[in-house]
Each structure stands twice: as C-alpha cells, then as structure tokens.
C-alpha cells in the first residue's frame, strides 16, 4: 500500500492519525497496533479540533437516535488520480446498497466535483427517502489556511463555491440542500456567518469514525461502539478504495450492534436540534 498522501486528505481523523502516528516516516496505517490507534483517537477527540474548526458536538440525553453521515469528497488531485487510472473509483456503492437494504436513514454530504462525476448516483440518493443530501463544498478546499493540507479557498471565492455546489446538487436531486459541512471541519466566525446568511445550517460531528485510510476495521468498530451516544452525529466516507478501504465492512458490523443497544438511525435534519 502507498503511504498516505497529505494533499489528498478528506477525513480529519484519518489525516491526524497520519500526522500523529509517524506515517510521514514510512509507517503504514494498517500496520499500526489497535492500541496505538485507540490512544491517538483519544488524544484527538479529547483535545478538540484546532485552527478554527468544528468542536465535538454536545449531545442531548433522552433519545436513542444516531445520525450516520457519509462524506463524498473529491479534490482536484483526487479527480486527476481517478482520470489517470491511479484510483479505480471514489465511490463504493455497496455502502448505500446495505443502508437501503437495512432501511437505515443517513445524511450524505457531497462535494460538487464528486456529484458531477457520479451524477447518476446522486440522482439515486435523491430518489430514496431514507437519505438526505448536504453541501460539502465544490472542490473540498479548506475555508481557513492550514486546514490539514487541504488547498486554501480564497475568501472571495467562498460564496461562489457554495452556490456552485448548491446548483449542482439541486439540479441533480431536484431539492435544494439545507445542510452544509465544511471540508476538514475548518472554518472562521465569518465563514459561519456566510453560510448562515445563505440559508444553510452547518453540521459538524460528535466524533469521526476514523474510517478514512484505515485498514484496521476492528479498531474503528470498537471506537465507534464505545463512543456512541444518543443524538450523536458520526462521520464515515463513501469513497471506498484506499480512501475508505473498510467502511462497508465497518457499517455492516456496527449497525446490528447499535440496534441491539436500542439505537435508531436518523437523518441529521430529523434530530431535534436541526428541526
């Protein structure tokens, strides 16, 4: 397996695992021990997220609902790799097939580039009432500098970036997205105001699953199950391949186990704080 390339990072936790676990020195993620991954995750979540990014969301007690969210990211670099044949695909349809078969509601945050490449998939998502679609920017650029190696989106381009993605997703789905997730979870106070003034609700997460670039499915499963809480919002990825190599396997394991614990699955917009 290739070492994780910094300029292609989509998932914040996956990138932080890269940085904190010494992968830049040649250590491969799938060779890390479960204990090391667990310790790293604990440090990340415990310290919050830096550089003006989304803080872990507080949950409300009472309900037994969990919102599974799936990011469909695509940067220009990822698209170039796809077009050159370096990656076979940036979409694992088995994830959606399983969710549909098990009648699991979910929220899908889709970048504009991804939507244009997989337009038929977006149309299928929109036709299934289990799913809702959110805006995840156009080219997955960071809204603040130094957002975990993501290319920086200039301030003057932010509004157009969001509008372009709104247009792409609305044309494909027939519905205007109401939710927005910042790439990497990074933003400034002015970015929050911009998104709010555009009529969108910002959605962060309670914790990321850690599925990105992670071949250790057992560690991810254990982490998700041990951190699951009522009204939690959890981040996964639709990419498959090297970007999310075990996501399909992971959700097929955790969903039955969470159901046994009494959890139901909800779209983000159906959670009380987003109604």
CATH class of 6-274: alpha beta
Q: What is the pTM of this model?
A: 0.81
pLDDT of residue 17: 41
Confidence of residue 41 (pLDDT cuts 50, 70, 90): very low
pLDDT digits 0-9 by tens, 165-205: 999 999 999 999 999 999 999 999 999 999 999 999 999 99
pLDDT digits 0-9 by tens, 228-256: 999 999 999 999 999 999 999 999 999 99
3-state secondary structure 44-102: HHHHCCCCCECCCCCCCCCCCEEEEEEEECCCHHHHHHHHCCCCCCCCCHHHHHHHHHC
Residue 6 reports pLDDT greater than 80: no
Confidence of residue 51 (pLDDT cuts 50, 70, 90): very low
The angle subtended at Cα 40 by Cα 34 and Cα 44, nearest 5°, is 145
The angle subtended at Cα 169 by Cα 213 and Cα 106, nearest 5°, is 55
| Domains of the chain by residue range | 6-274
Output 49 or 81, whichever has higher pLDDT.
81
Alpha-carbon gap, residue 210 to 125, rounded angstroms = 24
Alpha-carbon gap, residue 180 to 57, rounded angstroms = 15
Query: And the tokens for 264?
Result: 């139901």
């Amino acid at each position: 397996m290739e070492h994780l390339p910094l300029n292609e990072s989509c998932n914040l936790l996956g990138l932080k695992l890269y940085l904190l676990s010494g992968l830049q020195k040649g250590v491969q993620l799938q060779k890390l021990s479960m204990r090391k991954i667990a310790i790293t995750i604990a440090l990340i979540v415990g310290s919050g997220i830096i550089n003006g990014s989304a803080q872990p969301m507080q949950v409300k007690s009472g309900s037994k609902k969990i919102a599974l969210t799936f990011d469909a990211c695509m940067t220009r670099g990822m698209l170039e790799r796809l077009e050159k044949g370096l990656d076979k695909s940036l979409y694992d349809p088995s994830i959606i097939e399983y969710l549909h078969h098990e009648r699991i509601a979910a929220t899908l945050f889709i970048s504009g580039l991804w939507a244009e490449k997989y337009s038929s998939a977006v149309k299928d998502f929109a036709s299934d009432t289990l799913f809702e679609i959110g805006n995840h920017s156009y080219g997955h650029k960071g809204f603040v500098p130094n957002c975990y190696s993501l290319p920086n989106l200039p301030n003057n381009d932010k509004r157009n970036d969001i509008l372009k993605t709104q247009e792409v997703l609305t044309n494909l789905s027939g519905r205007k997205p109401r939710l927005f997730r910042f790439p990497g979870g990074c933003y400034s106070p002015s970015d929050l105001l911009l998104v709010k003034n555009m009529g969108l609700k910002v959605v962060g997460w309670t914790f990321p699953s850690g599925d990105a670039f992670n071949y250790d499915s057992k560690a991810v499963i254990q982490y998700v199950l041990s951190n699951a809480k009522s009204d939690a919002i959890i981040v996964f990825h639709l990419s498959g391949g090297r970007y999310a190599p075990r996501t399909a396997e992971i959700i097929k394991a955790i969903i039955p186990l969470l159901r046994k614990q009494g959890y139901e699955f909800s779209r983000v917009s159906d959670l009380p704080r987003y109604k």
